[in-house]
Structure 1
Amino acid sequence: MIRSGVLQITLREESATTRIPARPDCLLGAGRQSNAIDRGDVDRTLRRWGASFRTSLVFAARRSLGHIGSQHIGYDDTERSLGMSRTYRVELGDVARARDALSAVRDLAAVAQARIESLATTHDPARSHPSTDTRVDAAMNAHDLIRATPALAREQGDERIVVAVVDTGVALGHPELRRKLLAGYDTVDLGLGKVGGMELVGDSRGADFTPRDDVGHGSHVAGVVAAQGFRLSPGMAGRSLCLPVRVLAAARPSGSRRTIGVGALSDIDCGIKVACDLGAKVINMSFGTSEAHIDAGAPPPHREVVDYAVARGVVLVAAMGNSGQAEKLFPAAIDPVIAVAAVDERFEVSSFSTRGKHVTLAAPGERILSLDRHGYRLSTGTSHAAPFVAGVAALLCARARRRGVELGTREVRDILVRSAQARPADGHRDDIGHGVLDADAALRTLDADLSASPHGRTHTHG
């Protein structure tokens, strides 16, 4: 799906300007969107084909994050090299001519790349509707399947290893998340009415920076990562704190009473970068955009922000998707993101789990008991398998840091692959990846690596 009338444009370095405010300042009212980008060919082309336009920088500078009114100042070398200091969200006045405007802009020498803004969703299988049956015996015993109990006994985690849940927000007052949440952030700004043929509900226009959940999806994911364990198993990340970053609004598909999460590329990319800049060590991304619904003439969505996270040593985990088909869903399909499929209690791949050569491994993803906006619910989908992997990643990072070693995405991925259970005979299959998550075996594999070579393969991040 695309967001009609909205482009994302990256200028070449020599054409960039510093006058345009960053999106977070515009949301705060501390900056106004500009009606000019380069005062040259780009502006003339956008006005010719789009009638009028307004624009803001997608990303805030890391050094200036939270410096109200000046978050567009002070980009570092990494941010500049990835184009973050010159990537703009452009809203056109003539929505119907967005494709013409895109084609014309791409021909300009000043433009490095341009795309129509895509939308990501949290589409879960139909059987993941909230359930009033929250009995433990009605849920998959996921913790036993992945040997979570001995893993948490071996490694309790560390509050300094922060896990960001980049999603629909969280249930901020839920007892299970008491003393487990950091302040968080909200980058949603979809306006009012409809987007992608869906009716927006709740806070969809950047009313504040509070990551309050209007869907329940992010709350469920956060519970798998960080729940206290009062009425369900404790969070897989142990003592790690959870950073909720709301990038997806609530929406109802046409003809449906069901609410799902939907977010725009710019809002999501901004939120992922904010999570990195606020100190997240692990980021869980249980959403995606199908390859069939993205702009074929542009690089894969989220490429730049994934590269930024990897450069900062952040571990990235994403859900494979729930189409049941062989296809690429972004960001899961971007190397080196850890892409997570779903299995049932027999370690058979769930029928809905998306297939592909980029699958890293699988985790339990059916009838997972976790949090709802109020209370608890059972949910099914790769969205709810991914946070088990994110939680184990946090335990690995905590244990390695205690030995003076920093792990990044590639190091964590390598350990998870080598320690997986139910491994395919040929080492990898397009449905289950390299096998099923084994939390305790992953920690034991890390211990063996550190003992054998404390300055070896696990000492760098990437």
Structure 2
Amino acid sequence: YRIPARPQCPDPNQRAGFNAVFGTTDMVVAGIRYATELKRAGYSPMVINMSLGGGALEPQERAALDDAIAAGVIVVAAAGNEGEAGMSFPGAYPPVISAGSVGWTGEWLRPTDGLPRYRMWWLKYPNPPLLPGSGEVDDATHAGDIYVSDFSSRALPGQQLDVLAPGSWVRGPFPGDPGYNHLPWHSRGIGDLRGGVGTNFFFVGGTSMATPHVASVAALMLQKNPTLTQAQVEHLLKSTALALPPTGSRAIFDFDRPATFAWGTMCGAVMCDAVGAGVIQADMAVAATPTP
């Protein structure tokens, strides 16, 4: 069983230190079983985030997933990082809530654009509090501001992609080597933040980064209503998602160069789905969650 972790480091001279980690089906099953036992013992609510994947779903893993969902555990899994080659498992298993990856067209600052400003991912309300002098705030909740990551696995026939979440150039939880300084997307253009504490973290990308966003929103929904089932959580996430067109193209500035990200309904000679129900909207999903 291959469990890929796909960090993407924007600086070719800096490496995240790994391209993949490996495990066994038995290890994955043991983790699912453990969380299920905790749920049945009264530790509730319980959400499993599976930022992992493989080429097939083994019978014992399917049985563990079915048992977890039947016990009231919410299971979210990465769609995979194989692009048009299709989804990985367990993300492709229909009962699981699968997460693909999107990015924001304004992630990086063009060299010719020196305007000082904050650009924050996923703001939904005007004039949020910012540091003095931070300037403009961009709203990335419009479909035209969002692109589907090229690595995000498309759903091939027989597979099911549920939702999308930020997974492109997400600030990672580990710093670069001493002297590594890369201005994060949320503070670009702010001169007094350059070289400051906390600005030398790596950026990583993959559906492994998108999946925790979805799992976290599910946890917030369960905080409001701990009785929600897997099917109910999936329905609420999908019904409140921001729909993206099934076919699209976005021209962006990708870290250090212009780039175009495109997606469509054909992967080679077969039909595919790159967008699912669309991009999760946390506040809307929580607001739509009924109280018990």
Which bracket does the TM-score occupy, shorter chain normalised?
0.5 to 0.7
Pick from 122, 125, 135: which aligns with 2:4?
Answer: 122
Alpha-carbon distance in 1 for matches of 2:232, 2:205: 29
Instruction: Name which one, 1 or 2, has greater alpha-carbon Rg.
Output: 1
Query: Residue 130 of structure 1 contacts residue 377 of structure 1 at CA under 8 Å; is this kept in 2?
Result: no
Q: Secondary structure at the match of 2:228?
A: coil
Quote the residue 2:202 is aligned against: 377
Alpha-carbon distance in 1 for matches of 2:147, 2:60: 31
- Amino acid corresponding to residue 274 of structure 2 in structure 1: D
Q: How far did residue 281 of structure 1 move?
A: 0.6
Equivalent residue runs for 1:19-168 within 5 Å: 119-124=1-6, 126-127=8-9
Alpha-carbon distance in 1 for matches of 2:210, 2:88: 15
Query: Residue 364 of structure 1 contacts residue 385 of structure 1 at CA under 8 Å; is this kept in 2?
Result: yes
Are 2:132 and 1:368 aligned? Answer: no
Residue identity over aligned pairs, in percent, reads 34
Alpha-carbon distance in 2 for matches of 1:442, 1:131: 40
Q: How far did residue 424 of structure 1 move?
A: 4.1
Alpha-carbon distance in 1 for matches of 2:174, 2:241: 30
Quote the residue 1:226 is aligned against: none
Quote the residue 2:149 is aligned against: 350
Quote the residue 1:289 is aligned against: 54
Equivalent residue runs for 1:178-327 within 5 Å: 258-278=18-38, 279=43, 281-291=46-56, 302-327=61-86
Alpha-carbon distance in 1 for matches of 2:21, 2:245: 34
Higher relative contact order (CA 8 A, sep 6+): 2
Q: Secondary structure at the match of 1:443?
A: helix
Identify if the C-alpha distance between structure 1 residues 130 and 313 changes in structure 2 by more than 3 Å, giving closer, same or farther. Answer: farther
Pick from 317, 328, 331: which aligns with 2:90?
Answer: 331
Q: How far did residue 120 of structure 1 move?
A: 2.1
Query: Residue 301 of structure 1 contacts residue 330 of structure 1 at CA under 8 Å; is this kept in 2?
Result: no
- Amino acid corresponding to residue 170 of structure 2 in structure 1: I
Q: How far did residue 370 of structure 1 move?
A: 3.2
Are 2:241 and 1:420 aligned? Answer: yes
Q: How far did residue 127 of structure 1 move?
A: 4.5
Q: How far did residue 130 of structure 1 move?
A: 10
Q: Which runs of 5+ in 2 are unaligned?
A: 105-144, 177-197, 248-264, 266-271
Which runs of 4 or more aligned residues in structure 1 lie more than 6 Å from their structure 2 counterparts after TM superposition? 128-133
Pick from 258, 272, 276: which aligns with 1:433?
Answer: 276
State the TM-score, normalizing by the size of structure 2: 0.61
RMSD over aligned Cα, in angstroms?
A: 3.0
Query: Residue 300 of structure 1 contacts residue 330 of structure 1 at CA under 8 Å; is this kept in 2?
Result: no
Alpha-carbon distance in 2 for matches of 1:317, 1:302: 14
Q: How far did residue 440 of structure 1 move?
A: 0.6
Q: How far did residue 335 of structure 1 move?
A: 2.2
Q: How far did residue 308 of structure 1 move?
A: 1.1
Pick from 395, 399, 405: which aligns with 2:220?
Answer: 395
Query: Residue 35 of structure 2 contacts residue 48 of structure 2 at CA under 8 Å; is this kept in 1?
Result: yes
Identify if the C-alpha distance between structure 1 residues 300 and 430 changes in structure 2 by more than 3 Å, giving closer, same or farther. Answer: farther
Are 2:255 and 1:410 aligned? Answer: no
Identify if the C-alpha distance between structure 1 residues 353 and 435 changes in structure 2 by more than 3 Å, giving closer, same or farther. Answer: same
Q: How far did residue 369 of structure 1 move?
A: 1.1
Q: Which runs of 5+ in 1 are unaligned?
A: 1-118, 134-215, 217-256, 455-462
Q: Secondary structure at the match of 1:267?
A: helix
